[in-house]
Amino acid sequence: MRTTNLIVSILAFCTIGLTYGQRRKKNVVEEKPKVIAQSPKLVVGIVVDQMRYDYLTRFWDQYGEGGFKRLVNEGFNCKNNHFNYAPTSTGPGHASVYTGTTPAMHGIIGNDWFDKTTGEDVYCAGDDAYTSVGTTSGAGKMSPHRMLTSTITDQLRLHTQMRGKVIGVAVKDRGAVLPAGHAANAAYWFEGGATGNWISSSYYMEELPQWVLDFNASDKVEEYKKPWTTLKPIETYVESGLDVNNYEGLQKGETTNAFPHDLPAIWEDNGQFDLLRRSPFGNSITADFALAALEGEALGVDSITDFLAISFSSTDYVGHFFGVNSKEIEDTYIRLDRDLERILSELDNKVGKGEYTVFLTADHAAIHVPSYLMDSNIPSGYLDMQGMKAQFNEFLQYKYGTTDVVKNISNYQVFLNHKILTNLDIDVEQAQKDIAMEMLSYPGIGQVYTGYQMWQNEYVEGIPYILQNGYNQKRSGDVLLVPEVGYISYNRTGSTHGSPQIYDTHVPLLLYGKGIKQGSTVNRTEIPDIAPTIAALLGIAFPSGTTGRPIGEVLE
């Protein structure tokens, strides 16, 4: 019966494909691709790195009317929006927003991961086949080649016969490269150090365009080499903890982690322009450059839809260093709100109000600093990775007579050496089970799953569902670890992310502008739903690996 159904399905698919091909032949005489009435002149995708959903509500009274509040009040707010996979980190997050699928399909299983074929660590956007543009360093040797599926930005390029422009902008290279996709006109990112320039890769171009050269030659970035003081009186920052506390990092050259932060005084000790990444000024620089791209690339000036992909990276740097509950994170979001207002105002002026569409989301959220939670009597803690490693090596030696059966442990995954297991006549599936049972006994480990479980079962809810969506059969490990709720492997100061738990998965999704209804929903939406929603709005094909579904209640 299943075989019969499969044959019928294949025949039906072939028939549909033939019909589609015939329809395309009839349309080849058209001079321009069809543009539906509701298509905006420009789509602006905004990813705020490490933005928790509750940053919208916590800091609401601090926001002006033209930034976050404008998007919420005049657009559509998906209040129950989640990542449906783990690991929840920057590379997978940006890839999933723009591909409409999860690491199981698009293959970006981490920022870095252990390559089972080469035995080396690889970077999600790294590519030695290309050279840097705009710098003599290797910081531009990037491309999206490790992303296995197309993006919504790719589909726009295909639909418009490459006439719709796509530009990616972020402080982090991966925050620009992955959203821009495979067929982008350009992606640009920030090189700190002594230069503070915006750079790119020979994947996109041979040399920087004149507008980028002009921006780099200006004083735009240099203007932010100044003390970081709070934008508003610090006594009004009531949605964050004490300014002096034990939960924040201490920057080199400073004697306190409290405001103000004299950036020029600690400039040399903290990587010069790299220091701006760990301040709200990194976001302001990004907004400046994005607006320069709007002008320099003439985006949104005609009926052929363009796409500007912006990622604000500094929220992540500030969150990692100072933590979710810091005065610094509150100030960073107050300032980001001003930058958003600036961008929306320029879009009104340059593209026209009602002629563009914006979505805003995040690449992951973050946990409160566990030491703060512990002091507040909330269950949480830190994994003892050194102790765990020593205990695990003892187990391997006792069980298998060697520790070489394990190649690598990273991203909460264990990679086994299948060749050595075979030589020892040890069944891989049984080894996965044995190791899983051993590691489940370790303090701070809440759940453990095997690669065979990911292969053989189809999970539809809970933690295994989230893990399976993040599990790529060719790239992921043999054993998957899930820390107990509230536990992390990290410093005792600052916040992090990466888990399948709700504090890492719950992020904003705001949509605004042409083709978008005004309203909100508490129905669950998931990150892979964003790309097909935008595709439906534009009337273009979904990205090639799409597993998400359009959010119908958002669209007019």
CA distances from 455 to 67, 172, 319, 411, 484 (A): 44, 33, 35, 19, 24
**Residue from 15, 57, 88, 90 carrying the catalytic annotation:** 90
Task: Give me the amino acid identity at 120.
Answer: E
Q: Is the peptide bond before 500 cis (omega within 30 degrees of 0)?
A: no
15 is catalytic: no
Does 174 carry a binding-site annotation? yes
- Sequence-distant (6+) residues with CB within 8 A of 233 are none
Distance (Å, rounded) from C-alpha 88 to C-alpha 316? 13
Distance (Å, rounded) from C-alpha 503 to C-alpha 489? 15
484 three-class SS: coil
38 three-class SS: coil
256 three-class SS: coil
Of the candidates 434, 549, 283, 255, the residue with the CA atom closest to the CA atom of residue 266: 255
Of the candidates 341, 340, 337, the residue with the CA atom closest to the CA atom of residue 232: 337
Element containing residue 479 per DSSP (H, E): strand 479-483
Element containing residue 521 per DSSP (H, E): strand 519-526
- Dihedrals phi, psi of 513, to nearest 5 degrees: 110, -155
> 174, 122 in Cβ contact below 8 A?
no
Does 216 carry a binding-site annotation? no
Per DSSP (E only), the strands in 258-370 are: 306-312, 356-361
- Catalytic annotation, residues: 90
| Residue stretches of the annotated binding site | 111, 172-174
